[in-house]
Structure 1
């Protein structure tokens, strides 16, 4: 018989971004299965999670001094101890590196570390500490969400790799009930232009400068970027320097339920990111029926493919101009765009939310059964 467990999901900053989206959906799915789920963030970056039930924060902002950092660590252990979870799920590299030892200090017996940060986003120190923690058993289980990501750990010690479990991300259908005209009206976008777009946290690794630079190749193209992040001012300045500010639009941070409406406003989705473990935003966009041009890194070629073929045309972010030809192709060749769209319809089945929650429940159940066996309790 399945036992109701208290699960704590630990992450770094509270904001609307890919890892937070996955964790929120996972929490909802586990709650629907009868588990008690709480979320704990290291700090509050935006108000995105202020109204989410059973959510708490260790700090109102990112610790900016050694003393503030020590206070944060103390609060992290204290809050985990007060919640008394049966299992802690940590997300992102800092979530793993600080959340896992804090959970152990708080007396938590089971820790599942989720590798949702590409290794390109980690410096050598983080990578070495992560390798040590996984090898020593700081993490009981380590989840990855693509075969390519699993391959990044192939040279890690066996004591690390034997803990790795493949759990593909699930996602929610972002299809909108709005027409293109209604969606553009909602966001104040021009009605009669060719609108390229992307949805992402605006940081340098997403390479959204490539999408901005694409506008100089065709004066009829416009671009909308959904999301917020540290690179926004740089992108605005680039648009100004290139003389395309009047054709570049920024939405700011978006609620999850608004993303589908923005996708409905676009003619084509551009995803030049140079480092991903899955590419959730691209998968969501493809599934709604948008043609995609993506960076041809291995993980995106893996994830954006079904048994009907690829769901995207690919380019090379090291050569920004390589995006122009496939963009032109998909805007002009409706048959090729339709072939990608037909393939993308199968993504929802490949990466279902129920399948993701099933896999996590199995991980939690296996840990619970092992614990009962160690204690000599019958599991029949």
Structure 2
């Protein structure tokens, strides 16, 4: 209640024309505060993961608040996330709009610099994955695939609640020496690790629109992702081209085969490298900001 009261005072004092929210709780409390303040601020709320991952009460409140007249637009970072809103009211659904994620200019520039110095490795053997060590990322399937790839080494950047369990699985499968858990690293170091890899692997069970995937694409790393709808969307360019290899998230054999084809077949590697670059060319900060600019410009 203190936060709500503080936001009401903020709106009454500052009277902004427009406000954008990007967290589930903020999507609820900010439009409500603007409404209580009696101001004409236009609110744009945004969803970055499927709403079924939210707290049930928070999701229900979102459905109510999203119908308020001061909520102008409801942005989703992917069409898949947008479809997770299908259970909302007609008035809520009518406000939906998809704007895909992109990287900030500083990160785009850093990745461009790293990409310019990347040299083809021979032999190729480094796999890279980034993200929390949590169930969402589905790292057990990668570890099981590593047992089928004796010449590969996987580097995972991230920390999380599943760390002990994942390391135990690696030990049980005899791949501890080839599963390198780097822990949480600063953004710049993470980008350098990505740039040193040969293949990017992301077998997630769900995402919103993965920034790590975009980073890997800018570096022109071949992309191997799970076949869940949001990931298929994530590796599909604006012109409809599939720019990454998609594999059943529960199929370690299929995952190992996809990775092996990239490590051992130069033609396959070069083809998927080019496709990753094509994907990156359509996921730029300027395009994202232009889309948000059109939202802000709406009357």
Question: Could you tell me how far apart the structure 1 residues matched to 2:30 and 2:162 are?
Answer: 27
User: In the TM superposition, what whole-angstrom CA distance separates every residue of 1:167-211 from its partner, at most 9, and x where no partner exists?
Assistant: 222235324168569xx9xxxxxx988221111233211112222
Q: How do 1:49-198 and structure 2 match up within 5 A?
A: 85-105=16-36, 109-137=41-69, 139-171=71-103, 172-173=107-108, 174-175=111-112, 176=114, 194-198=125-129
8 Å CA contact 1:89–1:111 kept in 2: the answer is yes
RMSD: 3.0
TM-score in terms of structure 1 length: 0.67
Q: Does the alignment pair 1:343 with 2:240? A: no
Cα drift, residue 103 of structure 1: 4.8
8 Å CA contact 1:198–1:270 kept in 2: the answer is yes
Cα drift, residue 148 of structure 1: 2.7
Query: Could you tell me which residue of structure 2 aligns to residue 325 of structure 1?
Result: 257
TM-score in terms of structure 2 length: 0.83
User: In the TM superposition, what whole-angstrom CA distance separates every residue of 1:81-117 from its partner, at most 9, and x where no partner exists?
Assistant: 7766443211132332344434544566222111112
Q: Does the alignment pair 1:284 with 2:215? A: yes
Question: Could you tell me how far apart the structure 2 residues matched to 1:118 and 1:249 are?
Answer: 30
Given candidates 322, 340, 356, the residue that maps to 2:288 is 356
Query: Could you tell me which residue of structure 2 aligns to residue 210 of structure 1?
Result: 141
User: In the TM superposition, what whole-angstrom CA distance separates every residue of 1:62-95 from its partner, at most 9, and x where no partner exists?
Assistant: xxxxxxxx66666666677776644321113233
Question: Could you tell me how far apart the structure 2 residues matched to 1:80 and 1:230 are?
Answer: 38
Structure 1: segments with no counterpart, 5+ residues:
1-69, 185-190, 371-380
8 Å CA contact 2:50–2:80 kept in 1: the answer is no
Cα drift, residue 278 of structure 1: 1.8
Query: Could you tell me which residue of structure 1 aligns to residue 194 of structure 2?
Result: 263
Given candidates 166, 169, 172, the residue that maps to 1:238 is 169
Given candidates 212, 223, 228, the residue that maps to 2:154 is 223
8 Å CA contact 1:195–1:266 kept in 2: the answer is yes
Give the total of aligned pairs.
290
User: Structure 1 322/107 Cα, relative in aligned 2: closer, same or farther at 3 Å?
Assistant: farther
Cα drift, residue 255 of structure 1: 3.1
Structure 2: segments with no counterpart, 5+ residues:
none
User: Structure 1 328/84 Cα, relative in aligned 2: closer, same or farther at 3 Å?
Assistant: same
User: In the TM superposition, what whole-angstrom CA distance separates every residue of 1:252-275 from its partner, at most 9, and x where no partner exists?
Assistant: 333333333111111111111111
Question: Could you tell me how far apart the structure 2 residues matched to 1:326 and 1:114 are?
Answer: 34
Q: Does the alignment pair 1:273 with 2:207? A: no
Query: Could you tell me which residue of structure 2 aligns to residue 375 of structure 1?
Result: none
Secondary structure in structure 2 of the residue aligned to 1:88? strand
Query: Could you tell me which residue of structure 2 aligns to residue 50 of structure 1?
Result: none
Question: Could you tell me how far apart the structure 2 residues matched to 1:83 and 1:316 are?
Answer: 50
User: Structure 1 299/75 Cα, relative in aligned 2: closer, same or farther at 3 Å?
Assistant: same
User: Structure 1 74/247 Cα, relative in aligned 2: closer, same or farther at 3 Å?
Assistant: farther
